[in-house]
């Protein structure tokens, strides 16, 4: 099962439309959105994707207890922690888990916020930041998204440039 992962869309309508086209061409049906801007999720839902999302730390939804800021989801037998930030944040709610200490069984931590694409392994857990989808280079990086391949053999990741779909990083 291959799923799409995006973060920090920041209302970039053109970028979101381009990403939707790329994901549809790859027959991706599930998209994980890691915040900023939480309202952008509607664009992907209207495009026909099943979207699991968390709000960005400065989105108004982040302070609403009925919207989880850091849920643990299981897809294709793989437990993942979804978070906008890679560590605790001053706007966290009291019950928000610390991403630096994921709950037992979590194999992947997905986060955004920094706008810097990354694939790293810490204490046996895969950490992935898909980058950002802003219309310009941010923190020295172009717009990127991630593809997460979940299989019985494990998890692999590709981070791709939005402009041309080229792989810029992989695990």
Say what the pLDDT of residue 59 is: 93
- Domain ranges for the chain: 2-170
Give CA–CA dist 24/57, Å, rounded.
29
Q: How far is CA 123 from the centre of its chain?
A: 20
pLDDT score recorded for residue 153: 84
The pLDDT profile of the chain, 171 residues, written as one tens digit per residue, is: 999 999 999 999 999 999 999 999 999 999 999 999 999 999 999 999 999 999 999 999 999 999 999 999 999 999 999 999 999 999 999 999 999 999 999 999 999 999 999 999 999 999 999 999 988 777 789 999 999 999 888 999 999 999 999 999 999
Predicted confidence at residue 5, as pLDDT, reads 98
Confidence at residue 144, expressed as pLDDT on a 0 to 100 scale: 97
Q: Residue 136's Cα: distance from chain center in Å? A: 19
The CATH superfamily label for domain 2-170 reads Metallo-dependent phosphatases (3.60.21.10)
- Contacts (Cβ under 8 Å, ≥6 apart) of 153: none
* pLDDT the model gives residue 160: 98
pLDDT in tens, 128-165: 999 999 887 777 899 999 999 998 889 999 999 999 99
Q: Output the pLDDT for position 136.
A: 76
pLDDT confidence of residue 21? 97
**What is the greatest pairwise CA distance in the chain?**
41
């Amino acid at each position: 099962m291959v799923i799409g992962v995006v973060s920090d869309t920041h209302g970039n309508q053109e970028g979101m439309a381009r990403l939707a086209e790329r994901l549809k061409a790859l027959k991706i049906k599930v998209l994980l959105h890691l915040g900023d801007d939480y309202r952008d999720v509607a664009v992907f839902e209207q495009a026909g994707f099943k979207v699991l999302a968390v709000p960005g730390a400065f989105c108004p939804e982040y302070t609403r207890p009925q919207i989880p800021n850091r849920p643990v989801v299981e897809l294709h037998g793989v437990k993942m922690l979804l978070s906008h930030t890679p560590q605790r944040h001053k706007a966290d709610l009291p019950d928000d888990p610390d991403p630096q200490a994921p709950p037992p069984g979590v194999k992947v931590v997905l986060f955004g916020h920094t706008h810097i694409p990354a694939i790293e392994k810490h204490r046996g857990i895969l950490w992935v930041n898909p980058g950002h989808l802003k219309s310009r280079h941010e923190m020295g990086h172009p717009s990127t998204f991630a593809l997460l391949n979940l299989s019985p053999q494990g998890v692999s990741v590709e981070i791709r440039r939005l402009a041309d779909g080229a792989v810029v990083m992989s695990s």
